[in-house]
Structure formats: structure tokens, C-alpha cells
Homo-oligomer: A and B are copies of this chain.
Amino acid sequence: MATGLVLYSYWRSSAAYRVRIALNLKGLEYETRPVHLVQDGGQQHAPAFQALNPQEMVPCLLDGDRVITQSLAIMEYLDEMHPELETALLPVDARGRAQVRALAMAVTCDIHPLGNLRVLQQLEAEFGASEEQRATWSRHWMAVGFKAIEEQLSDSAATGRYCHGETPSMADACLIPQVYNALRWKLPMDDYPTIARIHRACNELEAFQRAAPEAQPDAP
């Protein structure tokens, strides 16, 4: 299927990882254009990329001449452009859609922004935060966020093999990259058995395996 989709991505970017999962779940082929977030002072700040996405961030999706930014906006766009039910990233009912979006945003608004590379760099620059302090900071927000998500998942009748029912959704596409970060930062996952179970279930799927950082063309 030649869709002409191009994804500006960085192998270890959590937000790009979400979109790679979504593209794979929807069965859409795409070309990866790596943007190295550290080399050359951060290739996302280069004028050519900045012209494409003034936010100077990955992911950024090209669909023909359309430039789509923000991982969740990209996933919603893909779901609207390719509305086939069997690969839907959101359920059909408004309540279920709200639940999936809220879980996704519990990651994308309340955990991930606080442990981002640029934020850790700023903590070092402004407060002289050591590597250990930066790790403690990251783990703190992941622990706060995962505690709430664990409760939401374990309390909800809608939770199934995945975050919402028996098929992976936008919520799983956001949660799994965050768990990847948590393991990288050595956050103990014992307190989050439902999240850990869903993480295992997702990673049995090829769509998630192919989206993993280590499987990317720009992984070292």
C-alpha cells in the first residue's frame, strides 16, 4: 500500500514511538526520516526541520503536502483518514472514546512532558541537577502517573487484554512507550500489575515489536 506517508522520527523518542505503533496497528506503510535529537546540537533545531515543524519536535508526519504534528493529533488524523473498524485506534462509543483519550493523555500530558530530554537539560542548566537527581525527578512523575493509570485500569470494567477491551488502542500506543522509558529509568513496576500485564500483551504483537526503539533504522 503506497500511501506516501513520511515520518520524521527518532528511535528513542517516546512520542515518535507512539506514532510508529499507530501506523503499524493500522497497517500503513511509511518512510522513516531520522532526526537525531542530540547530534549537531539537536537536528530538530535545524532550519529545514524548523520550517516544517516550528515546534522543533518529532514526530512530524507528512501525508503528501500535509504536515501533521503532535503524536495524538497524528493518531486521530490517521484514524479519521483510515476509518476501517478492524484497525480503529478508538472505540465507537463516545464514553469509550473519552476513556481511551483520557488514558492516553494521562501519559502525554501528565507524565511524558516532565521527563522529556529538554526538561532534564533545563533542570541541569537552571538548578545544576545531577544525573541522579534528574533520574529521581523522572521516576517521581512516572510513579505518580502510573499509580493513577493503574487505578483507572484496575477499576474499569472496560479494561481487557489491552487498555480498553480486546484490541489495542491509542491508549496502548501511548502507555507502552512510557513503560519503555520507565524500565530505562529503572522504575520498579511491581506496584503496577495491570500496566505490566498490558505491556507484556502489547509486546507480543508485531505492530509493537516493529515500532520499538531498537528496531528503528537509526538505532545505534
Contacts and interface: CB of A to CB of B under 8 A. Distances in A.
Given A73-B105, A97-B77, A119 B114 contact: yes
Given A54-B148, A94-B80, A127-B127, A105 B72 contact: yes
A112 B105 CA distance: 13
A101 interface: yes
A184 interface: no
Contacts of A98: 66, 68, 73-74, 76-77
A184 B110 CA distance: 22
A140 interface: yes
Given A54-B152, A95-B66, A126 B122 contact: no
A108 B110 CA distance: 9
A206 interface: no
A54 B149 CA distance: 8
A110 B112 CA distance: 10
A125 to B, nearest CB: 10
B55 A110 contact: yes
A109 interface: yes
A176 B94 CA distance: 26
Interface in A110-155: 110, 112-114, 119, 122-123, 126-127, 129, 133, 136-137, 140, 147-149, 151-152, 155
A94 to B, nearest CB: 4
A2 interface: no
Nearest to A150: B54
Interface of A: 54-57, 66, 68-70, 72-74, 76-77, 80-81, 94-95, 97-98, 101-102, 105-106, 108-110, 112-114, 119, 122-123, 126-127, 129, 133, 136-137, 140, 147-149, 151-152, 155
19 contacts: A54-B147, A54-B151, A55-B106, A55-B110, A68-B98, A69-B102, A70-B101, A70-B109, A72-B101, A77-B95, A77-B101, A80-B94, A108-B109, A109-B109, A109-B112, A113-B113, A114-B114, A114-B119, A126-B133
The 4 tightest CB contacts between A and B, nearest first, are A54-B151, A73-B101, A127-B127, A113-B113
